[in-house]
């Protein structure tokens, strides 16, 4: 019998104010509840521009850009 419990993640609420200024692909994907591949595709299309860091070229995304994509105003 296949167990479904492993396929579901815990549903803890994430506050945007608790997030760092630069987010990983996984953090953005989890926040938007979409695939990391979709995040990469949006980056290529310019919908969600990435900042490349380190010699591997890892992607990071500005929290403000993700908030705008969500339609959330910045907390001041």
- Domain holding 36, by residue range, is 19-70
Is residue 2 domain-resident?
no
The total domain count for the chain is 1
Is residue 32 domain-resident?
yes
Q: Checking DSSP bridges between strand 51-53 and strand 58-62, what pairing results, if any? A: antiparallel
pTM over 0.85? The answer is no
Is residue 46 domain-resident?
yes
Is residue 51 domain-resident?
yes
CB 70 within 8 A of CB 32: yes
* Residue 38: DSSP 8-state: H
Tokens, residue 53:
């860091």
Is residue 13 domain-resident?
no
Confidence label for 75 from pLDDT (cuts 50, 70 and 90): low
CATH of the domain at 46: 1.10.1660.10
For residue 51, the SS3 value is strand
CA 42 to chain centre: 11
pLDDT digits (tens, 9 = 90+) for 6-64: 444 545 556 667 788 999 999 999 999 999 999 999 999 999 999 999 999 999 999 99
Measuring CA to CA, which residue among 21, 54, 56, 25 is closest to residue 42? 25
């Amino acid at each position: 019998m296949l167990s479904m419990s492993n396929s579901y993640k815990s549903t803890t609420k994430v506050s945007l104010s608790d997030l760092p200024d630069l987010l990983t692909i996984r953090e953005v994907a989890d926040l938007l509840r979409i695939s990391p591949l979709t995040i990469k595709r949006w980056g290529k299309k310019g919908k969600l521009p990435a900042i490349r860091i380190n010699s591997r070229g890892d992607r990071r995304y500005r929290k403000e850009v993700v908030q705008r994509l969500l339609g959330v105003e910045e907390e001041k």
